[in-house]
Amino acid sequence: MIELSQSREQFSLITESMSEGLIIADQKANILASNVSAYVLLEAKPSPETHTVFSLCHSEEYRRCIHNAMGGIRAECILNTENGDRKVIASPANSPDSVNGFVVFILDVTEQQKLETMRREFTSNVSHELKTPLTTIYGISDMLANGMVKSEDVSRFGTDIRNEADRLIALINDIVSLSKLDEDSVPKQFEEVDLYEIAEEVISRLSISAKEKNVTASLTGSHVKITGSRTVLEEIIYNLCDNAIKYNIDGGSYTVKISHIPTKAMITVSDTGTGIPAAHIDRIFERFYRIDKSRSRKIKGTGLGLSIVKHAVSYHGGKIRVRSTSEKGTAFLVELPITKKTDGQN
Nearest-angstrom CA–CA distance, 255 and 329? 11
Q: Residues in contact with ligand ADP, total (CB under 6 A)?
A: 22
SS3 state of residue 264: strand
Q: Based on CB atoms, which residue is closest to ligand ADP, 225 or 290?
A: 290
Q: Based on CB atoms, which residue is closest to ligand ADP, 203 or 306?
A: 306
If we measure between CA atoms, which residue out of 110, 109, 92 comes closest to residue 101? 92
For 223, which DSSP code? Answer: -
Binder to ligand ADP among 244, 312, 320, 334 (CB under 6 A)?
Answer: 244
Q: How far, CA to CA in Å, does 162 sit from each of 140, 287, 298?
A: 11, 25, 16
The β-bridge relationship of strands 253-261 and 216-221 is parallel
Q: How far is the CB of 281 from ligand ADP (least distance, A)?
A: 9
SS3 state of residue 94: strand
Instruction: Check: CB of residue 304 under 8 Å from CB of residue 175.
Output: yes
Select the span of 84-92, 112-120, 202-210, 295-303 touching ligand ADP (CB under 6 A). Answer: 295-303
Using CB under 6 A as the binding rule, whether residue 302 contacts ligand ADP is answered as yes
Q: Which of residues 325-344 bind ligand ADP (CB under 6 A)?
A: 330
Using CB under 6 A as the binding rule, whether residue 221 contacts ligand ADP is answered as no
Using CB under 6 A as the binding rule, whether residue 235 contacts ligand ADP is answered as no
Q: Based on CB atoms, which residue is closest to ligand ADP, 15 or 272?
A: 272
Using CB under 6 A as the binding rule, whether residue 305 contacts ligand ADP is answered as yes
Helix axes 154-182, 305-315, angle to 10 degrees: 20
Q: Based on CB atoms, which residue is closest to ligand ADP, 31 or 276?
A: 276
Binder to ligand ADP among 92, 101, 228, 301 (CB under 6 A)?
Answer: 301
Select the span of 3-11, 70-78, 283-291, 311-319 touching ligand ADP (CB under 6 A). Answer: 283-291
Binder to ligand ADP among 101, 252, 273, 318 (CB under 6 A)?
Answer: 273
Instruction: Check: CB of residue 258 under 8 Å from CB of residue 267.
Output: yes
Give, in degrees to the nearest 5, the angle at Cα 242 between 244 and 192.
110
Give one DSSP letter per residue of 19-64, joined into a string: SSEEEEEETT-BEEEE-HHHHHHHT---STT--BGGGG---HHHHH
Instruction: Check: CB of residue 71 under 8 Å from CB of residue 65.
Output: no
Using CB under 6 A as the binding rule, whether residue 290 contacts ligand ADP is answered as yes
Binder to ligand ADP among 34, 35, 68, 243 (CB under 6 A)?
Answer: 243
Q: How far is the CB of 325 from ligand ADP (least distance, A)?
A: 11
Q: How far is the CB of 135 from ligand ADP (least distance, A)?
A: 20
Using CB under 6 A as the binding rule, whether residue 255 contacts ligand ADP is answered as no
Q: Which of residues 129-158 bind ligand ADP (CB under 6 A)?
A: none
Give, in degrees to the nearest 5, the angle at Cα 64 between 62 and 68.
120
Helix axes 110-145, 154-182, angle to 10 degrees: 160
Binder to ligand ADP among 25, 284, 312, 338 (CB under 6 A)?
Answer: 284
Using CB under 6 A as the binding rule, whether residue 241 contacts ligand ADP is answered as no
Helix (H) and strand (E) counts in the chain? 11, 12
Q: How far is the CB of 200 from ligand ADP (least distance, A)?
A: 20
Residues engaged in binding ligand ADP (CB under 6 A):
239, 243-244, 247, 271, 273-276, 284, 289-291, 296, 301-307, 330
